[in-house]
Amino acid sequence: MINQRNTVTFIDNIIVAIDIEEGYDKLVEKVLRRLEENNLFVKPKKYKWKVKKVKLLRVVIGPKRVEI
């Protein structure tokens, strides 16, 4: 697992989390640029953008808590 400030990477999953929505687009752009610089890519249809909760490994990660 790689954890750098507002991003967490686990195997082939990348979670981008930010407290305020205003900086989200710039942060996602930075992550996508880093992937491109390293000849990596994402499949847009497999990703969820601007969601409040995400399920990863049978765990729901939300803004204030983690649900099992």
Q: Where are the domains of the chain?
A: 2-67
- C-alpha 39/C-alpha 48 separation (Å) is 21
User: Helix or strand or coil: residue 20?
Assistant: coil
pTM for the complete prediction? 0.70
2-67 sits in which CATH class? alpha beta
Per-residue pLDDT tens, the chain, 68 aa: give them: 555 678 888 888 888 888 777 888 888 898 899 999 999 988 888 888 888 888 888 889 888 888 88
User: Helix or strand or coil: residue 16?
Assistant: strand
- The total number of residues shown for the chain amounts to 68
